[in-house]
A = this chain, B = another copy of it.
Amino acid sequence: MNKPTILIIDDEPQIRRLLEINFVSNGYLVRQAASGKEGLLLAANLIPDIIVLDLGLPDIKGHEVLKVLREWYTKPILILSVQSNENDIIDALDQGANDYLTKPFRVGELMARIRSASRNKTTDETTQILEAGNIEIDLVGRVVKFKGEVLKLTATEYSLLVMLVKNEGKVLTHQFLLKEIWGMSFQAETQYLRVFIAQLRKKIEENPNHPQLIITESGIGYRFQQST
């Protein structure tokens, strides 16, 4: 799942930095513009998921930026401004802003308003599904189907299978798999891997003695391949 992108259009570097730190730590991808012109350009190129716009820009009037943006941009726009003048607020909202916060603002509230604004947009719940032959993995639902039937897997088996299928065709080394699934300190426990690979094979191979899907690369690791 890709991180949502936020575009900050604000001329004050301190504000930009403050926002950046908070957005990044909340899992957003952040891009910044220091002027209206730059902001419009970046918005058109990036098509961010949210725009945070300061009305007090040096070059173009903030209201103007908002108006131009709204000619094509349909995702949430949140206004930040020192102006607490009612008419400014009304104008911005009527020009298509989704929300309006006056500086100084509280960061927690801003984050909550961002969440609220972007909530409506994400209605199309991305059902990400991995497919490989008879196997179907619903990553969002965390459900694996084998030949159409729900396959019961433990947490570790699931992680291992997802890792293998995601890297279909590639050889994954013992070390890599152990590090990714069990953690850094388990890189020597190759036997764990053998046990769990055997369990997976019992569940998804026609004939576990002659595996067609999870291939052993002796001395190196394992590789998942589509059944032929």
A residues lining the B interface (CB < 8 Å):
86-87, 89-90, 93-94, 96-99, 106, 108-109, 111-113, 115-116, 119-120, 122-124, 138, 140-143, 150, 154-155, 169-171, 217-220, 223, 225
If A155-B218, A155-B220, A218-B154 touch, does A113 touch B93 (CB 8 Å cutoff)? yes
Listed by A's residue number, 13 A-B pairs whose Cβ atoms lie within 8 Å are A86-B109, A93-B109, A93-B113, A94-B115, A96-B116, A97-B116, A98-B120, A138-B169, A141-B169, A141-B171, A142-B170, A142-B171, A154-B219
In the bound complex, how far is the Cα of B94 from the Cα of A113, in angstroms?
8
State how many copies of this chain the complex holds.
Answer: 2
Most chain B CB neighbours (cut-off 10 Å) among A108, A112, A143: A112
Contact (Cβ within 8 A) B93 A112: yes
Q: Are B124 and A123 in contact (CB under 8 A)?
A: yes
Across the interface, which residues of B come within 8 angstroms of A120, CB to CB? 98, 120, 122
Where chain A touches its partner, the secondary structure class is mixed
Q: Which of B89, B218, B219 makes the CB contact (< 8 A) with A112?
A: B89
**Nearest CB of chain B from residue A180's CB, rounded to whole Å:** 14
Task: Give A126 Cβ to nearest chain B Cβ, in Å.
Answer: 12
Do the beta carbons of A219 and B155 come within 8 Å of each other?
Answer: yes
